[in-house]
Amino acid sequence: MSQRPISRSLDLQKLREEGFDIEVRSGHLVEHHVPYVRADRTVAYGDLVSNLELADDRTVKPTNHVAMWTGDPPCNANGTPIQGLVNSSQDQRIDAGLVVRHTFSRKPDGGYIDYFHKMFTYTRILEAQAQLVDSSAAASTFVVRAAEDESVFKYIDTASSRAGIVPISQKLAHGKIAIVGLGGTGSYVLDHVAKTPVEEIHLFDGDTFLQHNAFRSPGAPSADDLGRTLKKVDWFSETYSRMRRKVVPHALDVDQSNVAQLEGMDFVFLCMDKGGSKRDIVDHLIEKRIPFIDCGMGLHVDAESLGGAARVTTVMYPRGAELKARIPFTDGVANEYSQNIQISDLNALNASLAVIKWKKLWGFYNDVEGELATSYMVSANEIVNEVTRDETEAVRS
């Protein structure tokens, strides 16, 4: 259901301002993470649910004083039931993911003024007893959920709002992005892009997420996670779908036979090192005038330490052929990187250089030089721009 009632109703806005984790689902107001005491005198958390009465997507005074509850029967701090609260106990399905088990009845004189009054009253009855057992128990989490019709995120991007850059962030809120290859660099590209409001992120990789991948990717999968032997695209889609919507997995290696699947994309990150397949993809993207960034790393052993470079090349119409000449098309024989000696910090840096450039193209970052080919040299700790906009006269397609 649309979350417009929250933005249009002062009582629901006040609940959010107090830090309550609320959302509107299937015509009901749901408050998550409400602490209570169970019969064994331990603190647990449940969801408090109320029917929602609206006029033009604005709340009106509740005519029903009853609330519903997903947890166990709530108790006092000593483990005895709270008297006069639970009215009935019977499972009731609100929607596919929400089942209430009990109804509460506590009616003040004159009824509840609004939904803030109603939810706050029931919450404080439960929370007061929970805090006698655990002083840190609190319903206020200051987690703000976002609905699908409001945002691609499942909770609101308060990082941008706190920094006052929401209008700038919204420059990225369009289009379909593809990431081809979810090795070390590709997985970090996903980590960065997933935290932008881009409309869709499509993942392309045919490999399985294995133990060695855990050491060159963001996050910390458990041994049980690795034992599931999921495809990389499924693992990363599942992981990042906890935070945002529209992370779309494609469990295949892109090559000449299926490269047409990239044609609906507005931008592509190439994070692969298979020469023949990469050449086919590059040629196709240039032909279709789809802008892309090619990422690459090369490492070598130098006096018992590692040296090398991380590289990003940005290719856009109309100078695709000229920039293509800067992309290596080898499978990296005798190269430590291609032998799976990948270093997570360099993978992350390679991805960061690529994503920063993508953000520049869409106006998120200031872009004075207009660099289109950039390398980071490990031993010199130096970033070099080898091609700039002035040299290529490239423009965004």
Which pLDDT does position 148 carry in this prediction?
65
The residue type of 385 is: N
Alpha-carbon distance of 145 to 22, in angstroms, equals 7
Which pLDDT does position 302 carry in this prediction?
79
CB neighbours of residue 205 within 10 Å: 27
Of 121-125, 188-192, 326-330, the one with minimum mean pLDDT is 326-330
Q: Give CA 106 to chain center in angstroms.
A: 39
pLDDT at 61 over 70: yes
Which pLDDT does position 218 carry in this prediction?
95
Average pLDDT over residues 288-315: 90
- Picking from 147, 166, 167, the residue whose alpha carbon sits closest to that of residue 158 is 166
**Which letter, b or e, does each residue of 297-332 get, where b requires 16 or more Cβ atoms within 10 Å of its Cβ?**
bbbeeeeeeeebbbbbbbbbbebbeebbebbeeeeb
pLDDT at 284 over 90: yes
- Residues 127-147 have pLDDT tens digits of 999 999 999 999 999 888 776
How much is the pTM?
0.71
The residue type of 150 is: E
Residues of the chain with pLDDT > 90: what percent? 71
N- to C-terminal Cα separation, the chain: 37
Alpha-carbon distance of 174 to 196, in angstroms, equals 10
- Residues 217-231 have pLDDT tens digits of 999 999 999 999 999
* Residue 341: pLDDT band with limits 50, 70, 90: low
Reported as half-sphere exposure (CB side, CA atoms, 13 A), residue 21 has a value of 17
- Residues 19-58 have pLDDT tens digits of 999 998 888 999 999 999 999 999 999 999 999 999 888 9
Of 58-62, 282-286, 313-317, 320-324, the one with minimum mean pLDDT is 320-324
- Residues 232-269 have pLDDT tens digits of 999 999 999 999 999 999 999 999 999 999 999 999 99
Average pLDDT over residues 141-163: 77
Mean pLDDT of the chain, nearest integer: 90
Q: What share of the chain is helix, strand, coil (3-state, %, to 5)?
A: 30, 25, 45
Domains of the chain with bracketed CATH: 4-133 (no CATH), 162-392 (3.40.50.720)
Alpha-carbon distance of 396 to 297, in angstroms, equals 25
Element (H, E) at 160: helix 158-163
Residues of the chain with pLDDT > 70: what percent? 92
Tokens in use for 145? 């959920």
234: burial class by Cβ within 10 Å (0-12, 13-18, 19+)? middle
* Residue 397: pLDDT band with limits 50, 70, 90: very low
Sign of the CA dihedral running 235, 237, 240, 242: negative
Which pLDDT does position 60 carry in this prediction?
94
pLDDT at 158 over 70: no
Tokens in use for 330? 């080898």
Beta strands in 85-191 (DSSP E): 86-95, 98-105, 176-180
Average pLDDT over residues 118-135: 98
What is the strand order of the sheet 267-270 is part of? Answer: 247-250, 200-204, 176-180, 267-270, 292-301, 306-315, 373-377, 382-387
